Amino acid sequence: MKLSVYNTIIEIMHKHNSRDCLPLIVKEFPDFSISTIGSIYAQDYQKKMRKTHHIHYNPMKMEMYYEQYLEGVQNKERHILLKISNGIELSPALLARMILERYLSSTKYGGENPPRSYVTKLMKDNTLINDPMLASEIHECLVSDDHYGPHVDNIKQSIGHEHECKLNRILDSLNLAYIGEDQMRTRGFDKTPDVKLEVPFSVDGHVINWIESKASFGDEYSHRGYLKDQFWSYWNRFGPGMVIYWFGFIEELDTDREKGIILSDKFPENIVRMNPIMK
C-alpha cells in the first residue's frame, strides 16, 4: 500500500470515527481486504489511546469518571459506562477496568489500589464480580469493545498464532526445513524469529534465513519498533531474512531489502531453493 493511499484511508477513518466505515473503505479500495483495513483501524485507534492516555489516567479524572458512574447507577440509567466512554473517547474496556479498580479500591481496599492481578482476573471472568450492576456494565463494555479487553486480547493472540501456523504449514508443504521459536529458545538463542530456516532459500535475489510472521498491518510506528527490537536483531544473528505482514504494509517502508530485510504480504511464490549440485 502506498503511503498516500494509507494517508487517505486514515483520513476517511478519522472523518467517520467508527469501524462502521470499514466496509465503505473496502468498497473504495477494493485491492485491500477488510482485515487489512481493520488492522489499520485498530492500529490507529491504539495510537489515539496512547496519545490520550495521560489525559484519563490521572487520579482526579479517574475519580470523576467513577462519580459519573455512581450517579448513573443512582439514576437507574443503562449503558452507563458505554455512554461515558463514548463521551470521553476512551476505550470501553479501558474505562471498565478503571472503574472496576476504583470500585474495588473504595469498597474493599480502603482507598488503596487493588492488586493488578486481581483486577485482571475479574476482568477476565466477570462472573466473579459481585455487584450485578457493575458486572453487567463491565460485561457490556467488554463485549462491545473491538480493540481492548480480554476477548480482544485472546483474538489478537489467536490471529498471530493462526498466521504463524499458516506460515508453518506453507513451509511444511514446500518441504522447507526450519526450527521454530520454541526450539530456538530451548537451544538458548537470545533472539528468536518465528521461523529460522535450516536451509536458506532466496526471493528476488535476496537470501532468506529467517521469517517473521506479523499478523498485522505494517505501518510506520509498528515497523520502526519491530525493526529496532526484532528484525535488526535477527539480521545481526542470522543474516538477511523476510518479514511477512499478512495484512499488508506501507510500501515505502520496504527500504532495507538490499541490507537484508525484505517485506512481503504473503509467502512469496517465486522462491529459489538452494541446490548444492548445481554450482
Partner 1 sequence: MHDLAGDKGNLTNMILRNSPNFDNTPRALKSNPITKSRRISFTTVSAGQQEGSTESTNAPSRRINPTPVSGKPFRRQTNAFIEQESTENKESSPGGDSSHLEEERELLRREKAKRLQSKAENKSEGLEFLSCNTPTKLLDRSVSTVDIVVADIAEVTHRIELDKLVHLYSACLSENLFPNLTMELYFLMQLLTSRSIDMELIAVCGEDVLENNFFSTVHNAVYFAVSVMTQQKRLLQCLDKGTLRLLSENTRITQFSPDLSSWLSDILDSKNQQVGPVYPKSPIGSVSFQAETDNRKNFPDDRTFHLFKRQRDGFYEILRLWERQHMTPGWSVSEALGDRIRALVSAKTELSNHLHFARLFQSQLIAMCKGDSSVMVETGDENIALLNQLKRSNPEKFKKLQERFFKPLSFGGPCPVPAFPGCQEFFHDFIIAASSTIFNQHLSDTFASKILEHLPYLDLVECIKEALTLSRLTLTVPWVVEFLSMMDVVAPKIDHFQLTLYLLLAIHRACWRDLDRGSYGYLLIVTMISWLLDAISVIPEGFFFVEIPVHVFEIVSSVKQKSTTHLDSIGFVDQSVYYSCCPYLLELRTLLTEFAVGSSSKTSTIRKITPISAEDTSVHKPSDVQIQLQLEENFFHNHPASLRRCVDFVAERTASNFIKKFRTSSLQTLLTQSREALNTHLMSQAGGSPSGKAKGLNLSAGVVSEGLIDPPYGACSRLSVKDKLQHDILKIAQDHVAQAKAVVAKDVGSYCEGRIKALVLLLLPDEQSESVKQTATEISTRLSQEKVHSWINKHITVQMFQSELSLELDRILKSQLLNQTRSVSGPAEISVSGNPVESGFEVIAKEHDDSTRFPSDVLIDIKDMVKLVILKNVSPEKIAVKNLLVETKTILEKRQDWLPGIFRSFGQLILDLCLSLMCYFPEDWTVEDLDEFEVLWTGSLKSAIPFSSAVNSYTLKLLEDSPKPKFAWMNFEELLLMFLRLSLLSTSDLQQSCLNVLSGTQDYVENLAVCLCHIVEKLETDPDHCTDGCELGDVLEWIYQVCGAEAQVSHLILQTLKLDSPPGHESGGPVTDHSPIRLDPRSDSSSETDKVHGKDRPSNSESNLVECLHKNKKLCSEMNKCSNNCCERMDGIHVKLDGLSVSMQDLDVSVPK
| Per-residue mark of binding to partner 1, 141-160 (x: CB under 8 A) | --xx-----xx-xxxxxxx-
Q: Which of residues 99-128 bind partner 1 (CB under 8 A)?
A: 108-109, 114-115, 117-118, 121-122, 125-128
Q: How far is the CB of 136 from partner 1 (least distance, A)?
A: 4
Q: Which positions ≥6 away from 169 have C-beta within 8 Å?
A: none
Decide: is 79 part of the binding site for partner 1 (CB under 8 A): yes
Residue 76, judged by CB atoms within 10 A of its CB (0-12, 13-18, 19+), counts as exposed
* Beta bridge partners of residue 163, listed in sequence order: none
Q: How far is the CB of 70 from partner 1 (least distance, A)?
A: 16
276 binds partner 1 (CB under 8 A): no
- Among 16, 88, 233, 257, contact with partner 1 (rule: CB under 8 A): 233
For partner 1, which is the closer residue by CB, 6 or 197?
Answer: 197
Is 260 a residue that touches partner 1 (CB under 8 A)? yes
Return the range that interacts with partner 1 (CB under 8 A); candidates 5-13, 217-225, 230-238, 268-276.
Answer: 230-238
Q: Smallest distance from the beta carbon of 8 to partner 1, in angstroms? A: 25
Show contacts of 59-65: CB within 8 Å, 24+ apart.
62/98, 62/101, 62/102, 63/102, 65/95, 65/98, 65/99, 65/102
- Near partner 1 in 201-220, by CB under 8 A: 207, 209
Q: Which of residues 236-255 bind partner 1 (CB under 8 A)?
A: 236-240
Q: Answer for the pair 106, 118: CB distance below 8 angstroms, yes or no.
A: no
Site residues, partner 1 (CB under 8 A): 79, 82, 108-109, 114-115, 117-118, 121-122, 125-133, 135-136, 138-140, 143-144, 150-151, 153-159, 161-162, 164-166, 169, 187-191, 207, 209, 232-233, 235-240, 259-260
